[in-house]
Amino acid sequence: MLDSSVDRSIISVVLSDPRLIGRVRDFMAAEDFVDPVCSYLFKAIEGFSADSFSWELLADVLQTKKDCPPVLKDPYSFLSDLVISAPIMPDLSLYSSLVSQRKLRSLLRSKLKVVSEEIENPSSSVVDIQNLLLNTISSFQTNQLLRIVSEGTVWKELKKDVIDISTTKFVGTGFSTLDAHLTWGLVPGHISVISGRPSMGKSTFRSNIERNLGKEGIYCVTISLEQSVVDEYFRKITQLTGLSFKDIVVGFRKKDPSFDMSVFISAVKEIMQWPHTFVEPKGSFNLSDIELIIQDIQIRNFSPAVVFIDLFSQISDISRVTESGRRAAVISQKMMELRTIARRLSIHFCLVVQLRRMGRDWGKIDRQEFYKDSGGYEENADLMFQLDRPGYWDPENVEDNVLQVFIGKQRQGTRGMIVPLVWDVSTLSVKDEVGEENKNIL
């Protein structure tokens, strides 16, 4: 009964949103449905493309079929009921997991049936039965848990990666001193993480990267679960104009004649030219929602290179988990699911992450100890930036105008290096150069 319920939920999701047909095909074929009606419907759905499909058109086609199951004799009524029952925010990763477990159970049953028949065979020795059982378990694990490729396949995949790298424009952070140490950059199919304690400038650093990429004409998407769209664009205006938040607010409120409105307007016009989409969720938000948004943007013939998620821990898949031990496992699982989405859609995800440990020994950056409480971030990320501001911890002796970017992890590249950048706390802007007077604090 549970399997049939899962099948109907999957079909209802596809009927209500045709964009999900491709995602369902990734983990399921018509023959994988237990419910014969759902299997029949999925075969019919596969005859459509996502752009041309609607459940009404499917109902029209079913009316002409002579081999329809009896329950589909009135296809409009049946399909409309399914569409109405579709979940508002479907979690396809859950359905994929349930179907995968169902396949594994079926495979295990068939293999254990062979073992059971051997046990009932009077001519089989105990040693033969033990060997068969061990071989069955070994075969099951190998088939399901390992991906075995030949040398030729490896070379083919490696060659493809090299060609992709050589023909794809390098997308970095826009800070030359930092990008000089990056091997891949913000490459499609990978995940980077901007991490740090509260008030270290994580969102500011992210916003400045967006500014740099926008000026280069590189399309970015920002999914902000903390900042409003107004706050975010004011942040970018301060970076471009050199005016502080206070300058802008006072200039508007008091109609200060010395306030140069043309500078403000010029910054707004420049921002409007950047290829950028800002998403401000109004309710709970999960990975399926993120994928649907990106797909919608791509369907409109835009090609985002980088998708920023700030803060990643606020997505409902993670925020609803309260137990610390389970939370780490969920983060690791969602990071792996996000990598699959990144590869499928050929985009780069950059996650902003807040790690909650407080306190700091002045002069000692946390390095690998920083990641002990970071869940699955460090294990699953391809690139990790850890941010630190020396002036935040020692304001009496150090001027607060340096942002240290520690490359905590980089696959096939430099790690364990601190790159200093200029931090302007009044305009929330970050720049490349660090003066000689500040180098002694690094």
**pLDDT per position as a tens digit, 194-211:** 998 888 889 999 999 999
Residue 393 has pLDDT above 90, yes or no: no
- Name residue, tokens 């939370």: 327
Q: Which of 247-251, 263-267, 301-305, 341-345 has the lowest mean pLDDT?
A: 247-251
| Over residues 80-96, mean pLDDT | 79
- pLDDT at residue 177 in the model: 93
Residue 437 has pLDDT above 70, yes or no: no
| Over residues 66-71, mean pLDDT | 87
Q: Which of 9-18, 182-191, 195-204, 431-440 has the lowest mean pLDDT?
A: 431-440
Q: What is the pLDDT of residues 120-138, one digit of tens each?
A: 888 888 777 777 776 666 5
- pLDDT at residue 308 in the model: 96
- pLDDT at residue 442 in the model: 41
| Over residues 19-27, mean pLDDT | 82
What is the domain class of 164-441 according to CATH? alpha beta
Contact assessment for residue 408 and residue 368, using Cβ atoms and an 8 Å cutoff: yes
Model confidence band, residue 298 (pLDDT cutoffs 50, 70, 90): confident
Alpha carbons 436 and 203: distance in angstroms, whole number: 27
Contact assessment for residue 304 and residue 277, using Cβ atoms and an 8 Å cutoff: yes
Q: What is this structure's pTM?
A: 0.63
Name the CATH superfamily, with its identifier, for domain 2-90: DNAb Helicase; Chain A (1.10.860.10)
Coil, helix or strand at residue 123:
coil
- pLDDT at residue 254 in the model: 65
- pLDDT at residue 150 in the model: 54
- pLDDT at residue 153 in the model: 60
Residue 213 has pLDDT above 90, yes or no: yes
Residue 347 has pLDDT above 80, yes or no: yes
* Alpha helices (H) along 305-399: 316-319, 324-345, 377-380, 390-393
User: Residues 316, 318, 319, CA angle at the centre, nearest 5°?
Assistant: 65
Residue 317 has pLDDT above 50, yes or no: yes
- pLDDT at residue 243 in the model: 83
CB atoms within 10 A of CB 366: 19
Q: What is the pLDDT of residues 223-265, one digit of tens each?
A: 998 888 888 888 888 888 888 877 777 777 766 677 777 888 8
- pLDDT at residue 1 in the model: 42
Q: Over the chain, what is the mean pLDDT?
A: 80
- pLDDT at residue 142 in the model: 44
Q: What is the pLDDT of residues 33-44, one digit of tens each?
A: 889 999 999 999
Q: What is the distance between the terminal CA atoms of the chain, rounded to a whole angstrom?
A: 63
Region of 351 please: left (phi>0), alpha (psi -120 to 50) or beta.
Answer: beta
Alpha carbons 196 and 179: distance in angstroms, whole number: 19
- pLDDT at residue 368 in the model: 43
Domain boundaries, the chain: 2-90, 93-145, 164-441
Model confidence band, residue 323 (pLDDT cutoffs 50, 70, 90): low
Higher pLDDT, 30 or 298: 30
Sorted by sequence, the CB contacts under 8 Å of residue 372 that are 6+ apart come out as none
Looking at the chain, the whole-number percentage of residues with pLDDT higher than 90 is: 18
Contact assessment for residue 333 and residue 321, using Cβ atoms and an 8 Å cutoff: no
Residue 385 has pLDDT above 50, yes or no: yes
Model confidence band, residue 350 (pLDDT cutoffs 50, 70, 90): very high
Burial of 51 (0-12, 13-18, 19+ CB in 10 A): exposed
Coil, helix or strand at residue 104:
helix
Residue 390 has pLDDT above 90, yes or no: no
| Over residues 129-149, mean pLDDT | 58
Q: Supply the DSSP string of 405-430, one letter for each residue.
A: EEEEEETTS--SEEEEEEEETTTTEE
Q: What is the pLDDT of residues 361-371, one digit of tens each?
A: 434 454 444 44
Model confidence band, residue 410 (pLDDT cutoffs 50, 70, 90): very high
